[in-house]
Structure 1
Amino acid sequence: MSKDTVSDNKIGQQTKELSSKDKMISGSAWMTGASILSRLLGALYIIPWMAWMGNPSVAASANALYIIGYTPYALFLNIATAGVPSAIAKQVSYYNSLNEYETSQKIYRKGLQVMAITGVVSALIMYVAAPLIAGSSPGISVDDGTQVIRSLSWALLIIPCMSVTRGYIQGHHVMKYSAISQFIEQLARVIFMLAAVYFIRQIWNGSVVNAVSASTFGAVIGAVFSIGYLFYIIWRKKPELDEHAAQSLNKVNISTNEIFKSIIRTAIPFIIIGSGITLFQMIDQFTFQQIMTRVSDFTPKEIVDSYGIASGNVNKLIMIVISFGGSMAITSVPLISELIAKNDLKKLSRQVSDSLQLFFFIMLPATIGMAVVAEPLYTVFYGQNDFGTNLLQVASFMSLFLGLFVLMGSTMQAANQTRPALWALAIGLVVKLALQYPMLAIAQTNGMFISNIFGFGVTVFLMLRKMYKVTHFNIGLLLRRVLLMVILTVVMAIVTFAVKEALYLVVHPENRLSALLVMGVSAGMGGIVYVYASLKTRLADRLLGARVASLRTKLHIK
């Protein structure tokens, strides 16, 4: 690691400098591991949660109520944090690259103050606006929705300060502690919410709305544990951070007002771009019931349940693969910001190209593979359901566009291309709105996902075109390698499908254990084929470096 990077031993310690690609791969590995584990916990908890909630009909209604509370919470959370992890990471990395460590510490301290204020304001707004939000949501009691939404507002008092601390650590190109804190947050949340619903519904025979409210309050518990861990890391590293600050050049003198303005100016675009997926989901929440009432023969209960399956169950599963795009975005922001500070356009072009190649290398097999094993995958988590399986298959393809949006949105902002990124998102939202009614009329519930594909597809295209104009990355190389990845992914999908169908001849897919066996074996075989083909074609060597080349040698793959 470079001298301006926080190491596991000592911040100022001279170590071998890592390339941008090495930092991206290492950081992405940490963040992806934490994200996948967190997303798995977020998907697995639903099995005992719904079982303890009551019969399938009650559990489905409870799940819909839970999602209706969490969607607006996600938007308010983005507002409260104002894109702070990425915004702070961008600024800290920028000034660290100039050897202005004292300025980085000032930005962190002032960031904590700003986030404390935005947290209080956002929590108050969400608490007061809860009845209005609940009244605009599909098929629930306004009182019940209000109670659930308000139970989440308390988390907004804590999470902003947690986010700015994560951003400060990420700005030093160390993703380990941020990743661990993310997992701690999710683990504490899941343990609390499962304990709450078990005692309320199984022991005390309490109401569904109280059980859901207690479950959503788990966000507060998770935030407390996470921020406690982060503050411990900052306290433990304080002597080293202070030592580094003492060696700062101090040629940059920024006033408190300038720091506040800089944080806000950097953060506001991050919040809008970071809220992109949530804004699309809010369109679904506020239009789905009204449109489906007109274009379908669903009963009100069926509309609510189908919305819960699509926005709740399916969304939890696709977020597992989308998290890779988010992990790469978190890692790439400080790297790109550092290259911008050094005005190294050649390395910037290579960094953008490397990010895109690594994204497609992982996301193509992940999304297509999920579509192939959608039936056993959905059965493992939520029980056998043809409707849910069909939704998951379509949503799997959609997740590729969502993940690319997350990566490109952060990349453009780190490269100071904020205004084009905002315009691209705005145009995508207009496309989403324009297609929502016809897509729901044609494809019913799947229309939500299809309109998202078109909306995000337009946004991503505009972002990629702009970044090409700015960096002139090697588009020919990118297209050739993506084409090779597509070919390898098709081969993997064929093998996965064949193994799955063969297993269906001897096992019953309706059973959760059987579905787990089918999913594990078929996905495992497909994964082995993809890894082998990547090593055989040297594609993995080019993307991941010498370590993979040595692995190929050990496996005797020529």
Structure 2
Amino acid sequence: MKTGENATGHQTESASKNAQAKMVTGSAWMTAGSVTSRLIGALYVIPWVTWLGTYSTQANALFAKGYNIYSIFLQVATAGIPSAISKMVAHYNGLDEYGVSRHLYHSGMYVSMAMGIICSIIMFGAAGILAAGDPNVIPVIRSLAWAVLVIPPMSITRGFLQGYNWMAPSAMSQFVEQVFRVIYMLAATFFVMKIQKGSWVVAVTQSTFAAFIGAIGAIIVLTSAYLHHRREMNELVQGGKRDISVSTFSLIFKIIYQAIPFIVIESGIIIFQLIDQYTFPPIMRMLGHYTNYQINAVYALFSFNANKLYMIIISFATGMAATAIPLLSEARAQNDTEGIRKQIENALTLFYFVMIPASMGLAAVAQQIYTVFYRYDAAGVTVLEFAAFMAIPLGMYSVAAAMMQGISENKRMMTYLGVGVIIKFILQIPCMMIVKGLGPLLATGLAMMVVNYLILHSFNMEFNLHFNEMAKSTNQILGFSIIMFVIVKVVMLLIGMIVSPYGRYTAFFSLIPGVIVGMLVFIYLALRYRLADNLLGPRMESLRVKLHIK
């Protein structure tokens, strides 16, 4: 009897380690793709801002307004289907029903193409209303409608491949999408501003149209990946259960039923940004006699300038979130409660390991990195320092909400998000009265903290998370991050005494040693005190030996 129990225990442990390995590998691919694309999407700002010159602040505000509206339409157009497809494909694959998974993909493609056409037409037709009185926003919205037309089928294919746990094609497509987009937008901006000496509004409109060009690049990569894996998928279909008949209509209904919560939940951060977009100007006018130029300038600081930089580190979280959904869905399909608990704990600890040091590192080098991207601005640096810490609850939301979807708690998650939106509205005016331009970020951060608490409490009630076991790793991460933050701050202050931190080039050369020191300090501490071993597996031991760390 004991032998059988031991065998079962070994199988459970092996399955748990295999799931953790999948989580780490998948997270590595998705995080690499997400972070790299975010980095490229941030680095273009340096030449872009330079070529726009004195119009750069207004251009940043216009870009942010157009993209916030586009992001919501994109969520509706894709209808949350990529994440729903990823989850449902993993579910059916876990049941050995590979034929249903493929049928699901084809049905999802019909829905996504129809939604893309409808949303694109609405964006064109309703651009005047959505612009809320700003005529410059109208051409920007219309230029983004082209991307909404083609991105849904592209996203469906990403979700389908992720359902098989093939994360590399998604990561590569994100990278290529950004490369195509940035090349086009920089070429167009240079042509309009430097060669034609044209309008900054035209430059921004062409820059946003670049989203369509980027999508074409991603479609090429994903189509190649699909064709590459087609033989393997055919073999899985042949070897799987074949006596299952599911109608196209039934699958479309299931997709839409699963997707509607995804629209709302995945739009969480965008919904908060739209609240800022439409409430920030009237509240600022209520609080003081500010001109439109001043309001747009402050809005650009937190909605575009800081957002571009802190979203890079949030992309770490979204990479892990994309990996968590199919793994949790597979465990749920197999009714593996212990597996679900392990996956949640792994995802949370990995999130802390990546997000906390990344956020604190960004805060430590905020002045240098802001200066490199946008030129020195004391207000901008303050906003970025504050936003770096607010990125932690935002990133936490991305991971926690994805896990709620992975275990099919969509209705409860929508309720929690609704609570967060109400808190955001309640706190918006008081926070802006207290800290003015930082108010929207503070209100968002506090509201997200409440949402995160509700999610974690829900997980604990259902799966009895082992917070005591997680506490050691979490405390180590926090402690090492604080040590790293203090050391980097001291290094930046010392460099600032020798080299001016206010010039773009000097700030760049100051930034490099600061980033290197920060990474080395955290990596050394994580290896020295075995934190990396616990989270990333036994490979870290060989790395520690190579680096001669005891």
When normalised by structure 1's length, the TM-score is 0.94
Note the alpha carbon deviations across 1:228-283, whole angstroms, 9 max, x for none: 22112212322222222122212432211210111111111111100000000000
1:76 maps to 2:73? yes
Q: Which residue of 2 aligns with 1:537?
A: 529
Q: Which residue of 1 aligns with 2:25?
A: 26
Q: Which residue of 2 aligns with 1:10?
A: none
Distance 2:214 2:36 in 1: 15
Distance 1:385 1:296 in 2: 22
1:296–1:441 contact (8 Å) kept in structure 2: no
1:319 maps to 2:319? no
Q: Which residue of 2 aligns with 1:47?
A: 46
Note the alpha carbon deviations across 1:163-220, whole angstroms, 9 max, x for none: 0000010011111011000111111001001111111121122222221111111011
Give the alignment of 1:503-522 within 5 angstroms: 503-522=495-514
Q: Which residue of 1 aligns with 2:86?
A: 89
Distance 2:350 2:209 in 1: 37
* CA RMSD, Structure 1 to Structure 2 (Å): 1.4
Find 2:426's aligned residue among 408, 412, 434: 434
Q: Which residue of 2 aligns with 1:126?
A: 123
Distance 2:120 2:413 in 1: 28
The AA in structure 2 aligned to 1:79 is V
Find 2:464's aligned residue among 453, 464, 472: 472
Distance 2:495 2:302 in 1: 28
Q: Which residue of 1 aligns with 2:35?
A: 36
Instruction: Give the secondary structure class of the aligned counterpart of 1:135.
Output: coil
1:209 maps to 2:208? no
Instruction: Give the secondary structure class of the aligned counterpart of 2:197.
Output: coil
Distance 2:317 2:16 in 1: 25
Distance 1:335 1:237 in 2: 20
Give the alignment of 1:143-182 within 5 angstroms: 144-182=136-174
2:81–2:256 contact (8 Å) kept in structure 1: no
Q: Which residue of 1 aligns with 2:57?
A: 60
The AA in structure 2 aligned to 1:329 is A
1:264 maps to 2:256? yes
Instruction: Give the secondary structure class of the aligned counterpart of 1:343.
Output: coil
1:292–1:441 contact (8 Å) kept in structure 2: no
Distance 1:513 1:204 in 2: 28
Give the alignment of 1:477-492 within 5 angstroms: 477-492=469-484
**Alpha-carbon shift at residue 118 of structure 1 (Å):** 0.7
Distance 2:193 2:511 in 1: 32
Distance 2:362 2:193 in 1: 33
Is the alpha carbon distance of 1:228 and 1:556 closer, same or farther for their aligned partners in structure 2, counting shifts above 3 Å?
same
Give the alignment of 1:412-451 within 5 angstroms: 412-451=404-443
Q: Which residue of 1 aligns with 2:3?
A: none
**Alpha-carbon shift at residue 347 of structure 1 (Å):** 1.5
1:117 maps to 2:109? no
1:148–1:212 contact (8 Å) kept in structure 2: yes
Q: Which residue of 2 aligns with 1:461?
A: 453
Q: Which residue of 2 aligns with 1:236?
A: 228
The AA in structure 1 aligned to 2:49 is M
Distance 2:17 2:99 in 1: 23
Distance 1:550 1:297 in 2: 62
Q: Which has the larger displacement, 200-209 or 385-394?
A: 200-209
Q: Which has the larger displacement, 78-87 or 450-459?
A: 78-87
2:92–2:100 contact (8 Å) kept in structure 1: yes
The AA in structure 2 aligned to 1:155 is A
1:384 maps to 2:376? yes
Distance 2:202 2:17 in 1: 51
1:67–1:308 contact (8 Å) kept in structure 2: yes
Query: What is the percent sequence identity of the aligned residues?
Result: 40
Distance 1:132 1:79 in 2: 18
1:304 maps to 2:296? yes
When normalised by structure 2's length, the TM-score is 0.95
Note the alpha carbon deviations across 1:443-466, whole angstroms, 9 max, x for none: 011001000111101111101111
Q: Which residue of 1 aligns with 2:4?
A: none
Instruction: Give the secondary structure class of the aligned counterpart of 1:168.
Output: helix
Q: Which has the larger displacement, 197-206 or 384-393?
A: 197-206
Distance 1:449 1:296 in 2: 19
Note the alpha carbon deviations across 1:272-324, whole angstroms, 9 max, x for none: 10000000000000000000111134332111111112101110000000001
The AA in structure 2 aligned to 1:43 is A
1:41–1:190 contact (8 Å) kept in structure 2: yes
Distance 1:378 1:60 in 2: 14
Distance 1:483 1:229 in 2: 41
Instruction: Give the secondary structure class of the aligned counterpart of 2:126.
Output: helix
2:85–2:105 contact (8 Å) kept in structure 1: yes
The AA in structure 2 aligned to 1:557 is I
1:296–1:444 contact (8 Å) kept in structure 2: no
2:86–2:163 contact (8 Å) kept in structure 1: yes
Is the alpha carbon distance of 1:186 and 1:527 closer, same or farther for their aligned partners in structure 2, counting shifts above 3 Å?
same
**Alpha-carbon shift at residue 78 of structure 1 (Å):** 0.7
**Alpha-carbon shift at residue 554 of structure 1 (Å):** 2.0
The AA in structure 2 aligned to 1:365 is P
Distance 2:333 2:301 in 1: 45
Distance 1:409 1:164 in 2: 20
Runs of 4+ in 1 over 6 A off after TM superposition: none
Between structures 1 and 2, the one with greater helix share = 2
Q: Which residue of 2 aligns with 1:100?
A: 97
Distance 1:541 1:226 in 2: 35
1:420–1:466 contact (8 Å) kept in structure 2: no
Distance 1:467 1:18 in 2: 21
Instruction: Give the secondary structure class of the aligned counterpart of 2:282.
Output: helix
Give the alignment of 1:355-394 within 5 angstroms: 355-394=347-386
Instruction: Give the secondary structure class of the aligned counterpart of 2:435.
Output: helix
Q: Which residue of 1 aligns with 2:398?
A: 406
Distance 1:250 1:261 in 2: 22
1:90–1:333 contact (8 Å) kept in structure 2: yes
